[in-house]
Amino acid sequence: MTAASAPHPVLRSLFTAWTLPHDGPPWAPCAWTALLNLVIALVLTLTLPERPDEPTLSGFLGHLLVSQAIGLTIHSLFHWSGRWLGLNMFALPLALRVGYVLAVGVAGTWVGYSAAVLALTGADLDRVAVVLGSASRHLVVIPLFWSLFSLVLFAAIGRLRLRQLAAERARGDVVRAEREAIAARLALLSAQIEPHFLYNTLAHVRAQAGSDAAAAQRMLDALIAYLRASSRNMAQAVVPLADELASVRGYLAVMQQRLGPRLDVRWEVSDDALSASMPPAALQTLVENAIKHGIEPLAAGGAITVRAARDGAAGWLVDVLDTGAGFDTPSGRPEGTGLANLRERLRLALGQDASVVLERDGGVTRARLRLPAAAAESSRP
């Protein structure tokens, strides 16, 4: 759900101010009730004439005190009767709901009005009795009409809330479906790792087994270390660079066994870059690309440097540099399936700011991963 499509928290709080459960801070229902009471006091002040016999009961301050006393008393009665009796007004049958609201409305009006009159008359019981007697008819009729109006208002708010919840559930279903689709696509793309490395390595071990058993043993040890790290990483949507390096070190150890002195490996990885997140096998794809298209085509081989460092607050830069064949040779590295696959996996896992760039500078080819910090942090499990 996007921020633009989600209802404002203030509206969410209003829609659920008098329902269970309430969506918002615990004080919000009382605040909305007090605001409603203020509106009623303003309406009464503008529509009712002043009472010369009881000036304290007329005017804005008098109406405000009466409105707040009645409104907050009714609010409290609904709240505590619901707590003590376990009643949910909206879950009651219609007839019981009408009776419950009328009873609470009349009782709250009498109690709240009596408390307000006591305060406004300075607890003069004779004046209180006179005021209550003159207002007794209004204290029965007005609460009845107000309770019926409240029922209609609450029903409308309830229907609006149900539509809101239905829309939120629909948006949530869409978001979940999108996430599941992304996860499935990531799994599919992750499964498209070049299998020839494993076949070639096993064939190399088989060829060495008869002539150099110790070399074959070292090759198998390096292969096992690589497979252990790689299989662990491939079970994750994103992995830290530290885990990815474990897999890449195993891969390069195997390739050093196969290529011997033709392959020189150098590491320039800062400690603060080890926490950078990336899709599994992202760095390995670049290293495999450097071996296949850069080192192996040259009889003299070359050097591979793995470099990783913080890129300020933006994220991290991870480079794979090789001194092998460039782009102009027949076996040069085109923008093939490996890099296209990697770009798609970066986009799905880390967003549009993640990228991979391949460039040639003099005799060095550089493949650069740009990993955005914010996306990497939010993608971690």
Q: Which domains does the chain have, with CATH numbers?
A: 9-184 (no CATH), 192-379 (3.30.565.10)
pLDDT for the residue 190:
53
Closest by alpha carbon to 286, among 352, 219, 241?
Answer: 241
d(C-alpha 375, C-alpha 278), whole Å: 10
Q: Tell me if residue 369 falls in helix, strand or coil.
A: strand
Where does 224-329 show beta strands of DSSP type E?
Answer: 239-240, 263-269, 277-278, 302-310, 315-322
Instruction: Return all residues near 321 (Cβ < 8 A) that are at least 6 apart.
Output: 290, 304, 305, 307, 364, 365, 366, 367
29, 22 contact by CB (below 8 A) = yes
Tokens standing for 122?
A: 């300075």
**Residue 311 CB: number of other CB atoms within 10 A?**
16
331, 297 contact by CB (below 8 A) = yes
d(C-alpha 281, C-alpha 304), whole Å: 17
Per-residue pLDDT of the chain (381 residues; tens, 9 = 90+): 433 344 455 555 555 555 555 566 667 777 777 888 888 888 877 777 766 655 556 677 877 888 888 888 888 877 777 667 666 666 667 777 777 777 877 788 888 878 887 887 777 777 677 777 666 666 667 777 777 777 777 777 667 767 777 887 888 777 777 666 666 665 555 555 556 677 778 887 888 887 888 888 888 888 888 888 777 777 677 889 999 999 899 889 888 988 889 999 999 999 989 989 988 888 988 998 899 888 988 989 999 999 999 988 888 999 999 998 876 544 445 556 677 778 888 888 888 889 999 898 888 999 999 999 865 554 554
For tokens 């002539």, what's the residue?
211
Which of the 8 DSSP states describes residue 8? P
Phi, psi of 195 (to 5 degrees): -85, -10
